[in-house]
Amino acid sequence: MTEQTPPSFFNRIAMAFALVGDARLAARVARLRGGEPLAADAPPREVRVEVPVEKIVEVRVEVPVEKVVEKRVEVPAATAALQLLGLLQREARFVDFVQEDVAGYQDAEIGAAARVVHEGCRKVLREHVTLEPVRPEAEGSRVTLPPGFDASAVRVSGNVVGQPPFTGTLAHRGWRAAAVRLPQLTDTQAAAIIAQAEVEL
């Protein structure tokens, strides 16, 4: 039996008895007669199902990186002086010259040695120390020292009477170390060795 073909008489009798014996079936037929659509004809009902979704959280991982810091070794003043003395010895044989007893040498011999020492010492100072004159005036010129002048930078000699201002002749301009560039030491104790002992094999 198709949807267009009406049920036969006996089928309708069977349905009638089924309606009498089945209250749920009778209720569905009553709703159908009232105009409610069949379940197959009814539009599909939208069912909203909430599915829990795992929350995505961005995690930033801080990876500790060892920071390389240049360690500067504080060189004591005595160590710096020994280091400079070592440079003078290496380049000019300065300590050897000063420690030598020159009483038995001729002036010409001493002069020749002094020339070598002078050249080496000058090289060390030019490479490692920037020198500037304390006073800008030319030597031999007249200068006046005002009250409160820097006594550590200017030494007053001769007939010193009373309080400044002092007026005198500039005998020496003086020297000031504007910059010092000594090599970086890895072992400050090594600076005490001014010159290594030499063993010839």
pLDDT at 15: 66
3-state secondary structure 26-58: HHHHHHHHCCCCCCCCCCCCCCCCCCCCCCCCC
| Segment-wise mean pLDDT, segments of 10 residues, the chain, 201 residues | 60 60 72 68 63 63 60 69 95 96 94 96 97 97 96 95 95 97 85 93 96
Read off the tokens for 173.
């301009």
Predicted local distance difference test score (pLDDT) of residue 105: 94
Contact criterion met (CB below 8 Å) for 19 and 29:
yes
Q: What is the DSSP letter of 137?
A: S
Q: How many helices (H) and strands (E) does the chain have?
A: 5, 4
What is the value of pTM for the model shown?
A: 0.57
pLDDT value for 45: 65
Helical segments of the chain, H only = 9-21, 23-33, 77-92, 94-99, 107-128
Distance of CA 127 to the CA centre of its chain: 29
CA distance 34 to 28: 10
pLDDT of residue 100: 95
What pLDDT sits at residue 51?
A: 60
